[in-house]
């Protein structure tokens, strides 16, 4: 009891602190400011690269627009790259996801907005289903948008996608740069179908130039539904929070029996080694998962091995339609 009271008092005292580190220590304001500035710089750089890769003029080279309507000529302020709004104190661009998940200011406002938003959600579902209805062999490939063309993982993703495309699989990505671009590029190298599911973000993300079929989404959960519904496998290249989210969602759906078991392939042994060790030494050891759950993951560095695993799993689950003989049809009638 004394320990519980002491721990409770410790938590109560810590609530007044504005910023703490992951270990609970007070954060240094100088370190926070430097980290924030580095984050801003990284976001600006990614926006520049995204515009260049998509064939658009990067924000740093855009000229201020002139507004000539009205009695006087007004010079409009330069439209800043939307990336700047992520971590500074200027107004954020509000996405449709944020509008959906945000709390309504009043009951009346809720009844006027959210029910109608359902129609927009339905329209995205219909568009996705209609566009991808003929995809019967697809592989969703995920990974960091920050991976450059000179990174070995970029070439590995491109080669893996090429092999899969030559085997008749459509390649599905998030349509962005980095690993997504490499995968779409490999699909084109292999004369396969290259699909991109683009998402509305606070900063602009255009589709990479190697996407043949692109679908624009406002809502993350609909976009992720398309990744799962039309895929025979997930291949996860090194990435960040978004990549981890997509990987663990697939594992959860398989573990709970919501979808049939298909390969979830982690590409890059060195990158994923720490995660695998943590799952074994902590999550499995504390019995938060079953021993067989780790068998859902395949870790590899070989594009050919990843491709063969996808082909084998697809062949095991695919049952081609069988034609009935005339005698069978007469008996059934």
Whichever domain contains 282, its CATH number is 3.40.50.450
CB 147 within 8 A of CB 237: yes
Inform me whether the pLDDT recorded for 75 exceeds 60: no
**Does a structural domain hold residue 41?**
no
Q: What is the pLDDT of residues 231-240, one digit of tens each?
A: 999 999 999 9
Residue 131: the pLDDT is 95
Residue 225 has pLDDT above 50, yes or no: yes
Q: Which DSSP string corresponds to 72-136? A: S-EEPPP---GGGGGTSSSPPPPPHHHHHHSPPSSHHHHHHHHHHHHHHHHHHHHHHHHHTTT--
| pLDDT value at 93 more than 70 | no
Q: What is the mean pLDDT of residues 21-44?
A: 71
Residue 248 maps to a domain: yes
Phi-psi region of 293 (alpha: psi -120 to 50; beta: other; left: phi over 0): alpha
d(CA 171, CA 307): 12
Could you tell me if residue 225 is inside a domain?
yes
Q: Which residues contact 168 (CB under 8 A, 6 or more apart)?
A: 137, 192
Give 144-188 pLDDT, tens digit per residue.
999 999 999 999 999 999 999 999 999 999 999 999 999 999 999
pLDDT at 84 over 60: no
- Structural domain of residue 298, as residue ranges? 122-317
Cα–Cα distance for residue pair 166/314, rounded to 1 Å: 15
pLDDT at position 25 is 67
pTM value? Answer: 0.66
Do 235 and 267 touch, CB atoms closer than 8 A? yes
Please report the sign of the dihedral spanned by the C-alpha atoms of residue 250, residue 248, residue 199, residue 158. negative
- Residue 30, in any domain of the structure: no
Residue 89 maps to a domain: no
Residue 250 in any domain: the answer is yes
Does residue 300 belong to any structural domain of this protein?
A: yes
For residue 1, the SS3 value is coil
User: How far is residue 200's CA from residue 209's CA, in Å, rounded to a whole number?
Assistant: 18
Q: Is 70 a domain residue?
A: no
The pLDDT of residue 325 = 58
Quick one: pLDDT at residue 76? 41
User: Residue 245, exposed/middle/buried by CB under 10 A (0-12, 13-18, 19+)?
Assistant: middle
In total, how many domains does the chain have?
1
């Amino acid at each position: 009891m004394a320990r519980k009271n002491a721990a409770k008092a410790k938590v109560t005292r810590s609530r007044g602190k504005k910023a703490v580190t992951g270990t609970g220590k007070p954060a240094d304001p100088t370190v926070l400011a430097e980290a924030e500035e580095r984050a801003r710089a990284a976001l600006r750089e990614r926006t520049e690269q995204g515009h260049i890769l998509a064939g658009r003029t990067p924000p740093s080279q855009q000229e201020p627009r002139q507004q000539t309507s009205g009695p006087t000529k007004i010079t409009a302020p330069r439209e800043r790259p939307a990336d700047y709004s992520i971590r500074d104190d200027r107004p954020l661009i509000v996405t449709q996801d944020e509008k959906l998940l945000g709390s309504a200011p009043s009951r009346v406002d809720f009844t006027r907005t959210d029910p109608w938003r359902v129609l927009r959600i339905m329209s995205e579902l219909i568009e996705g289903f209609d566009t991808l209805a003929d995809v019967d062999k697809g592989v969703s490939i995920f990974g960091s948008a920050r991976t450059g063309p000179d990174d070995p993982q970029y070439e590995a993703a491109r080669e893996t996608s090429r092999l899969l495309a030559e085997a008749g699989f459509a390649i599905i990505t998030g349509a962005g740069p980095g690993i997504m671009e490499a995968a779409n590029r490999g699909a084109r190298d292999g004369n396969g179908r290259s699909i991109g599911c683009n998402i509305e973000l606070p900063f602009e993300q255009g589709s990479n130039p190697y996407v043949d079929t692109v679908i624009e989404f406002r809502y993350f959960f609909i976009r992720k539904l398309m990744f799962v519904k039309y895929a025979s496998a997930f291949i996860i290249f090194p990435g960040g929070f978004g990549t981890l989210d997509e990987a663990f969602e697939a594992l959860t759906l398989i573990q709970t029996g919501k979808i049939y078991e298909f390969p979830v392939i982690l590409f890059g042994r060195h990158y994923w080694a720490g995660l695998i060790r943590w799952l074994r030494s902590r999550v499995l050891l504390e019995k938060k998962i079953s021993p067989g759950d780790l068998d859902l993951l395949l870790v590899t560095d070989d594009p050919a091995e990843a491709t063969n695993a996808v082909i084998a799993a697809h062949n095991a689950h695919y049952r081609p339609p069988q034609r009935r003989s005339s005698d069978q049809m007469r008996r059934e009638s």
